[in-house]
């Protein structure tokens, strides 16, 4: 049964066009259920229209239409539940349509096709004899309808092109851009069909050429990045090059072709074989080679399968559309040629998202069905502020977006002009604004000058851009640069927060439920050898300054704090003998991300110097919503009144226990969030550099005393949506609405 379901769904997903997809559904379902008739009705302008049938008259397709209050098909859609009748004719809602000639059918089973709470149509099977379809048949049709919903939606999008197509995704980096699509490598998998070479000699030459091109690209890339600030990226490329030599993987690929395999199969076979072997190794250094092998295999495969797309340097700026971008893919692009990023998969903290923010390129992720819609080379508008992607927009729309882009630029300039002035409300309340950072390049010195320091330096990002754990001296170098850029201002460095959605390619963690698994401090405490190296590197980098604050992520109990502090003391004592008075004990804090900690702030205050509220994770754990899952993204809401109450309470508790507190989740960089947080009494906010000027500008135009009343009202509302509306109205009343764009 499962196989039948999968076969039908896959066939529909890969159908040539929408019409054949519908045909496939009805013919295959009829056979699978051994019935005499299967039809599909799709909802169009509030009417259910017979869109394909195997059993009714073909001439009725497109002709038979009914509203949701008509007929049995309408009933299934209206109730959003299956209708299973032994004799449809006996039912009061039965409606006869002359065009279909269904008089001979008595047994009737209909299942609504629902996608994200919206009915798309109804799938119906019918049979001549009067009999109730059994439970198994009903469950099958229901399951099929549920699985088909997504495929139908995607096929429909394809069919609607080239008219304006609107895709929705999750904002990974704000901004608007207009450019043509460059769809890259989404379809290429390491697993390739096993085929034999037709002419071995030619195949070997083809493979050698691909290997050479790949080496050249890698060499150009590492040169390109050698002169740039983010030399963290350089190591990615240089390590890969040597692996392509004849004595290494390159030779293995060729050997396989000489044994008779096609070049594509050879690369696939060798890669899969070595990945399997290397991932099983205990040694971390050797384990990490598996990701190199995967990366190289995919690069060479792309050169063999779609050579014209590789090394492609677009003449004009493009919006990159791909399944899941990786750091190397984005780093490969000349910066001025990449104006937008759209991915089908990945989370807001994926490599792609993090890099996009660092590069200031608008990006949306989780855009379902975008690859299937065949939009390569089409003109796109990416409006990442709203998580929207428009395909082939009309000239009028383009003109509108162009003026939006200019208006946005003008606004940014206006905000930036005040960046050097303090973030102080009209009635004199000073708010300290800090930066969230991960890449050195996102810490441009002028921005560091416009902020009160770095409120969150995510050390996992340099770790993610390496091909192995960075050594102590490599870490010291990076951390020192961060401290230097901050020009004497405080820098909060967070210890490694990998796990969950932030994997290290060289330290794979396979878990059923990674967000509730081995993340953040849990991993560090289980690997004191890594943790101590990191703590030592941070302290060494801070020699001669008093800027360093150390922040522990994903803490869920007090014991983790105590253990971490013991390691910190150990690292400090080890370094003290060499560095003497050059180093001072850094201040230590924890992230408040796990809800239980909200109720232990009194105990936390006795152990640490400060806390920082990670509203991104706190929201996901309080609401039990995966922050990266596009399916539940509408439920992930930091403005949920329950979350707001928790934040208010946390602020109060920190105040009563004399515990300095900041907020460093995305909420602290959103205008609406800032209004609420400041009203609660938070006066230290840490945000992405893109938000800094805007928030500074906003705070200088509001009155702190107005905000408490607004907060009290917000807390009585019943949903995040209502809260947002309330603050929006407040912005309107103060002529500050533009700040929300």
Residues that bind ligand PEP (CB under 6 A): 349, 456, 458, 497, 593, 614-617, 664-665
- Among the listed ranges 258-266, 444-452, 529-537, 587-595, the one in contact with Mg ion (CB under 5 A) is 587-595
Are β-strands 65-67 and 83-85 bridged in parallel, bridged antiparallel, or unpaired?
unpaired
Between 554 and 561, whose beta carbon lies closer to ligand PEP? 554
Between 177 and 695, whose beta carbon lies closer to ligand PEP? 695
Shortest separation between residue 615's beta carbon and ligand PEP, angstroms: 5
Catalytic residue among 37, 38, 654, 664: 664
Q: Does 470 bind Mg ion (CB under 5 A)?
A: no
The SS3 of residue 54 is strand
SS (H, E, C) 519-577: CHHHHHHHCHHHHHHHHHHHHHHCCCCCCEEEEECCCCCHHHHHHHHHHHHHHHHHHHH
Shortest separation between residue 616's beta carbon and Mg ion, angstroms: 5
Q: Does 368 bind Mg ion (CB under 5 A)?
A: no
CA–CA separation, 228 vs 233, rounded Å?
9
Between 97 and 515, whose beta carbon lies closer to Mg ion? 515
Residue 648 interacts with, from Mg ion, ligand PEP, none (CB under 5-8 Å by kind): none
Q: Is 549 a catalytic residue?
A: no
> What x-and-dash track marks residues 246-285 binding Mg ion by CB under 5 A?
----------------------------------------
Residue 564 interacts with, from ligand PEP, Mg ion, none (CB under 5-8 Å by kind): none
Identify which of 193, 197, 215 has the alpha carbon closest to the alpha carbon of residue 205.
197
Between 155 and 628, whose beta carbon lies closer to Mg ion? 628
Between 12 and 561, whose beta carbon lies closer to Mg ion? 561
Query: Which residue shows structure tokens 């759209």?
Result: 342
Which residues have CB under 8 Å from 13's CB, separation 6+? 151, 154, 155, 372
Between 185 and 453, whose beta carbon lies closer to ligand PEP? 453
Identify any residues that bridge with 109 across adjacent strands, giving them in sequence order. 84, 125
Name the strand (E) or helix (H) holding 672: helix 671-680
Q: What is the DSSP string of 602-627?
A: HHHHHH-SEEEE-HHHHHHHHHT--T
CA–CA separation, 568 vs 562, rounded Å?
10
CA–CA separation, 620 vs 594, rounded Å?
9
CA angle 711–713–719, rounded 5-degree value: 95
Query: Which residue shows structure tokens 């869109």?
Result: 51
Catalytic residue among 351, 466, 549, 640: 351
Residues touching Mg ion, count (CB under 5 A): 3
Are the C-beta atoms of 33 and 25 separated by less than 8 Å? no
Shortest separation between residue 463's beta carbon and ligand PEP, angstroms: 13
Residue 458 interacts with, from Mg ion, ligand PEP, none (CB under 5-8 Å by kind): ligand PEP
Between 237 and 610, whose beta carbon lies closer to Mg ion? 610
Residue 689 interacts with, from ligand PEP, Mg ion, none (CB under 5-8 Å by kind): none
Residues numbered 590 to 609 that lie near Mg ion (CB under 5 A) are 593
Shortest separation between residue 608's beta carbon and ligand PEP, angstroms: 17
Q: Is 664 a catalytic residue?
A: yes
Q: Does 71 bind Mg ion (CB under 5 A)?
A: no
Between 232 and 460, whose beta carbon lies closer to Mg ion? 460
CA–CA separation, 329 vs 327, rounded Å?
6
CA angle 346–349–353, rounded 5-degree value: 70
CA–CA separation, 462 vs 670, rounded Å?
26
Between 373 and 644, whose beta carbon lies closer to ligand PEP? 644
The SS3 of residue 481 is helix
Residue 295 interacts with, from ligand PEP, Mg ion, none (CB under 5-8 Å by kind): none
Identify any residues that bridge with 43 across adjacent strands, giving them in sequence order. 48
Between 614 and 630, whose beta carbon lies closer to Mg ion? 614
Strands (E), 117-212: 118-127, 165-168, 170-173, 176-184
Shortest separation between residue 710's beta carbon and ligand PEP, angstroms: 23
Shortest separation between residue 591's beta carbon and Mg ion, angstroms: 6
Shortest separation between residue 439's beta carbon and ligand PEP, angstroms: 13
Q: What is the DSSP string of 682-717?
A: --EEEE-HHHHHHHHHHHTTS-HHHHHHHHHHHHHS
Shortest separation between residue 593's beta carbon and ligand PEP, angstroms: 5
113-125: b or e for each residue (b if 16 or more CB lie within 10 Å)? bbbeeebbbbbbb
Between 366 and 665, whose beta carbon lies closer to Mg ion? 665
Identify any residues that bridge with 589 across adjacent strands, giving them in sequence order. 551, 610
Q: How far is CA 184 from CA 85, 158, 307, 367, 430, in A?
A: 49, 18, 12, 15, 47
Identify which of 379, 385, 380, 438 has the alpha carbon closest to the alpha carbon of residue 411.
385
Query: By Cβ distance, which residue is nearest to Mg ion?
Result: 617
Shortest separation between residue 540's beta carbon and Mg ion, angstroms: 26
Between 24 and 496, whose beta carbon lies closer to ligand PEP? 496
Q: Does 438 bind Mg ion (CB under 5 A)?
A: no
H-only helix segments in 280-360 = 284-305, 327-332, 351-359
Q: Does 666 bind Mg ion (CB under 5 A)?
A: no
Shortest separation between residue 24's beta carbon and Mg ion, angstroms: 44
Strands ordered across the beta sheet of 65-67 = 65-67, 47-54, 37-44, 118-127, 107-115, 83-85
Q: Does 362 bind Mg ion (CB under 5 A)?
A: no
Residue 615 interacts with, from ligand PEP, Mg ion, none (CB under 5-8 Å by kind): ligand PEP
Are the C-beta atoms of 64 and 97 separated by less than 8 Å? yes
Are the C-beta atoms of 149 and 114 separated by less than 8 Å? yes
Identify any residues that bridge with 380 across adjacent strands, giving them in sequence order. 179, 391
What number of helices (H) and strands (E) belong to the chain? 25, 22
H-only helix segments in 161-262 = 200-226, 234-243, 249-258
Residue 664 interacts with, from Mg ion, ligand PEP, none (CB under 5-8 Å by kind): ligand PEP
Residues numbered 612 to 651 that lie near Mg ion (CB under 5 A) are 614, 617
Establish whether the linkage from the previous residue to 162 is cis, with ω within 30° of 0.
yes
What is the set of active-site residues?
Answer: 351, 664
Judged by the rule CB under 5 A, the positions of this chain that interact with Mg ion are 593, 614, 617
């Amino acid at each position: 049964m499962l196989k039948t379901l999968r076969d039908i769904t896959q066939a529909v997903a890969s159908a040539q066009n929408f019409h054949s997809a519908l045909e496939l559904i009805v013919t295959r379902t009829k056979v699978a259920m051994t019935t005499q008739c299967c039809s599909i009705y799709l909802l169009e302008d509030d009417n259910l229209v017979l869109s394909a049938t195997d059993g009714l008259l073909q001439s009725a397709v497109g002709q038979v239409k009914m509203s949701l209050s008509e007929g049995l098909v309408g009933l299934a859609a209206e109730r959003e539940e299956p209708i299973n009748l032994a004799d449809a004719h006996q039912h009061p809602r039965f409606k006869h349509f002359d065009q279909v000639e269904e008089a001979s059918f008595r047994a009737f089973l209909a299942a609504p096709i629902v996608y994200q709470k919206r009915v798309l149509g109804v799938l119906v099977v019918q049979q001549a004899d009067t009999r109730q379809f059994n439970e198994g048949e009903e469950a099958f049709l229901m399951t099929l309808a549920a699985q088909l919903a997504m495929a139908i939606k995607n096929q429909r999008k394809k069919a609607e092109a080239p008219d304006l197509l609107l895709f929705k995704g999750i904002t990974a980096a704000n901004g608007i851009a207009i450019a043509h699509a460059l769809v890259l490598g989404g379809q290429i998998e390491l697993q390739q069909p096993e085929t034999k070479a037709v002419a071995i000699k030619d195949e070997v030459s083809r493979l050698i050429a691909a290997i050479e091109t790949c080496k050249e690209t890698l060499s150009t890339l590492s040169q390109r990045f050698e002169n740039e600030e983010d030399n963290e990226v350089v190591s990615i490329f240089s390590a890969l090059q040597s692996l392509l030599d004849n004595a290494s993987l390159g030779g293995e690929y060729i050997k396989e072709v000489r044994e008779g395999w096609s070049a594509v199969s050879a690369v696939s076979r060798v890669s899969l074989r070595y990945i399997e072997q290397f991932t099983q190794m205990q040694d971390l250094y050797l384990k990490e080679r598996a990701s190199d092998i995967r990366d190289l295999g995919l690069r060479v495969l792309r050169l063999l399968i779609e050579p014209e797309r590789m090394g492609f340097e677009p003449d004009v700026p493009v919006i990159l559309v791909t399944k899941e971008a990786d750091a190397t893919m984005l780093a490969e692009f000349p910066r001025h040629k990449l104006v937008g990023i759209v991915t089908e998969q990945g989370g807001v903290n994926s490599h792609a998202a993090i890099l996009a923010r660092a590069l200031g390129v608008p990006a949306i992720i989780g855009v379902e069905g975008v690859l299937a819609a065949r939009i390569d080379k089409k003109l796109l508008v990416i409006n990442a502020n709203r998580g929207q992607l428009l395909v082939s927009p009309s000239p009028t729309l383009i003109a509108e977006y162009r003026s939006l882009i200019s208006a946005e630029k003008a606004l940014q300039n206006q905000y930036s002009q005040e960046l050097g002035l303090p973030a102080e409300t009209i009635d004199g309340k000073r708010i300290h604004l800090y930066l969230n950072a991960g890449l050195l390049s996102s810490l441009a010195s002028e921005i560091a000058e416009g902020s009160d320091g770095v409120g969150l330096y995510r050390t996992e990002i340099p770790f993610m851009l390496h091909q192995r754990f960075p050594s102590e001296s490599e870490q010291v170098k990076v951390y020192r640069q961060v401290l230097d850029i901050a020009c004497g201002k405080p820098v909060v460095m967070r210890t490694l927060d990998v796990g969950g959605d932030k994997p290290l390619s060289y330290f794979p963690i396979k878990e059923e439920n990674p967000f509730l698994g081995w993340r953040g401090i849990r991993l560090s405490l289980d690997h004191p050898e890594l943790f101590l190296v990191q703590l030592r590197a941070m302290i060494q980098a801070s020699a001669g300054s008093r800027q360093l604050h150390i922040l522990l992520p994903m803490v869920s109990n007090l014991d983790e704090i105590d253990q971490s502090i013991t390691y910190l003391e150990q690292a400090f004592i080890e370094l003290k003998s060499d560095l003497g008075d050059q180093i001072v004990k850094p201040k230590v804090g924890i992230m408040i991300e796990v809800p239980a900690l909200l109720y232990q702030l009194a105990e936390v205050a006795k152990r640490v110097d400060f806390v920082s509220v990670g509203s991104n994770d706190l929201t996901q754990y309080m609401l039990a919503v995966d922050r990266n899952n596009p399916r539940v993204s509408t439920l992930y809401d930091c403005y949920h009144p329950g979350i707001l109450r928790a934040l208010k309470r946390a602020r109060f508790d920190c105040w009563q226990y004399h515990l300095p507190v900041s907020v460093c989740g995305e909420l602290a960089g959103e205008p609406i969030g800032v209004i609420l947080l400041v009203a609660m009494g938070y006066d230290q906010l840490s945000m992405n550099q893109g938000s800094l000027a805007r928030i500074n500008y906003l705070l200088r135009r509001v009155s702190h005393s107005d905000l408490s009343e607004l907060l009290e009202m917000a807390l009585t509302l019943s949903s995040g949506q209502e809260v947002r509306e309330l603050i929006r109205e407040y912005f309107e009343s103060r002529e500050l609405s533009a700040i929300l764009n």
